[in-house]
Amino acid sequence: MSAILRAERITKQFDGLTAVSDVTFDIPAKSIVSLIGPNGAGKTTFFNMLTGLVRPTSGRITFGGRDITRTRPDVITARGVARTFQNIRLFGAMTAIENVMIGRHARTRAGIFGAVIRPPWVRAEERKTRERARELLAYVGVKAADFDRLATQLPYGDQRRVEIARALATEPSLLLLDEPTAGMNPQESAALALFMRRLRDDLNLTILLIEHDMKVVMDVSERVTVLDYGRKIAEGTPAAVRADPAVIEAYLGTEG
């Protein structure tokens, strides 16, 4: 399988602290890959580098064969990388549907004059944006009655769903999920694992997952990469990683 995303020897230092150190990492297209590691291992920093929010100190990231190491986050999104956040970051003053409509920003083009004059193509674009947002919210399982409620007033689980719908609205080919099961009970987590598989199959997505719930990780991922103190200490199939002595040591045997 060819790699849709490739990180080559990327390092990030924050004032002497090395958050990510010399990590090389491939994500095969149409796969579900997990990134695990103890707290502070540099997983989220790694995510932030892939999405352009943080620039690597050294190294190179390519997505679909194009270098995105120093590309702006919104451009990376337009190229097809979408993400969710560990601590849900929905737009507080916007309704669920408006949140998802923001995800369409890079896929639409009405500007000032389009907005003011509102020619037929802008009307059509706006209508499609709204329709697509509704479809996506329904797809991730938000009730239609909640579409026009403020996103941040929805129950926690629904907020996670809205965030995934918002990410899907950008039409990604690679979806990065940062601890999507945080705060969910085991049943919800299991359902989410199924949902991720379905996403991949329905939408031809590649998924990279940061996850602490080992059951979900083992269940859903085809490959697992383990970070510890910013370094990659193991990589392979879930079974192989679970048996790796370095991983067991990093987790102090808790998941061994």
Partner 1 sequence: MRWLRALRAPDKMAGFAIGRAAGGYGGSAPRKMLSRALAGVLIVAGICVPFLFGDASGFMNATIISIAYAVMALGLNIVVGSAGLLDLGYVAFYALGAYSLGWFGSEFFAKAQVHVLVSPVASVLPGVHLNFLLVLVAAAAICAAAGVVIGLPTLRLRGDYIAIVTLAFGEIIGVAAVNGQSIKLGGGMTLTAGNLGISAVDSPYFPGIGSFGLLDLRPWYWLIFGILLVVLFVNLRLRDARLGRAWVALREDEVAAVSMGVPLVKTKLLAYAIGAAIGGMSGAFFGTYYTEVNAGQFQFGFSIFILSMVIIGGLGSIWGAVVGGMLLGYINNYLIPDVLNGLPGKFGLSFQLTQVEFGIFGFLLVITMVLRPQGLLPERRHRLELTAAIPAEDAQLGTEPEGMA
Dist CA 159 CA 200 (whole Å): 21
Q: Which residues pair with residue 226 across a beta bridge? A: 36, 234
- Kindly state the smallest distance separating residue 193's Cβ from partner 1, in Å: 9
- Counting contacts by CB under 8 A, is residue 17 touching partner 1? no
- Counting contacts by CB under 8 A, is residue 127 touching partner 1? yes
**Positions 149 through 188 that interact with partner 1 (CB under 8 A):** 149-150, 153-155, 157-158, 161, 166-167, 169-170, 187-188
Using alpha carbons, select from 238, 241, 157, 230 the residue that is nearest to residue 191. 157
Residue whose entry in the numeric block shows the structure tokens 């859903």: 220
Dist CA 236 CA 256 (whole Å): 15
- 3-state secondary structure (DSSP) of residue 71: coil
Contacts with partner 1: how many residues (CB under 8 A)? 74
* Beta strands per DSSP E along 156-248: 174-178, 206-210, 223-228, 231-236
Pairing of strands 231-236, 223-228: antiparallel
- Counting contacts by CB under 8 A, is residue 6 touching partner 1? no
- 3-state secondary structure (DSSP) of residue 256: coil
- Counting contacts by CB under 8 A, is residue 105 touching partner 1? yes
Q: Which stretch binds partner 1 (CB under 8 A): 9-17, 68-76, 207-215, 229-237?
A: 68-76
Q: Which stretch binds partner 1 (CB under 8 A): 25-33, 101-109, 214-222, 245-253?
A: 101-109
Neighbours of 20 (CB within 10 A): 29
Of 66 and 127, the one with the shorter C-beta distance to partner 1 is 127
**Positions 130 through 149 that interact with partner 1 (CB under 8 A):** 130-131, 134-135, 138-145, 147-149
- Counting contacts by CB under 8 A, is residue 122 touching partner 1? yes
- Counting contacts by CB under 8 A, is residue 198 touching partner 1? yes
Dist CA 234 CA 249 (whole Å): 11
Dist CA 14 CA 16 (whole Å): 6
Q: Which stretch binds partner 1 (CB under 8 A): 5-13, 20-28, 37-45, 114-122?
A: 114-122
- Kindly state the smallest distance separating residue 240's Cβ from partner 1, in Å: 29
Token duo for residue 91: 């737009």
- Kindly state the smallest distance separating residue 249's Cβ from partner 1, in Å: 34
Task: Among 202, 237, 243, 256, indicate the residue that binds partner 1 (CB under 8 A).
Answer: 202
- Counting contacts by CB under 8 A, is residue 235 touching partner 1? no
Of 194 and 243, the one with the shorter C-beta distance to partner 1 is 194
Dist CA 32 CA 176 (whole Å): 10
- Counting contacts by CB under 8 A, is residue 229 touching partner 1? no
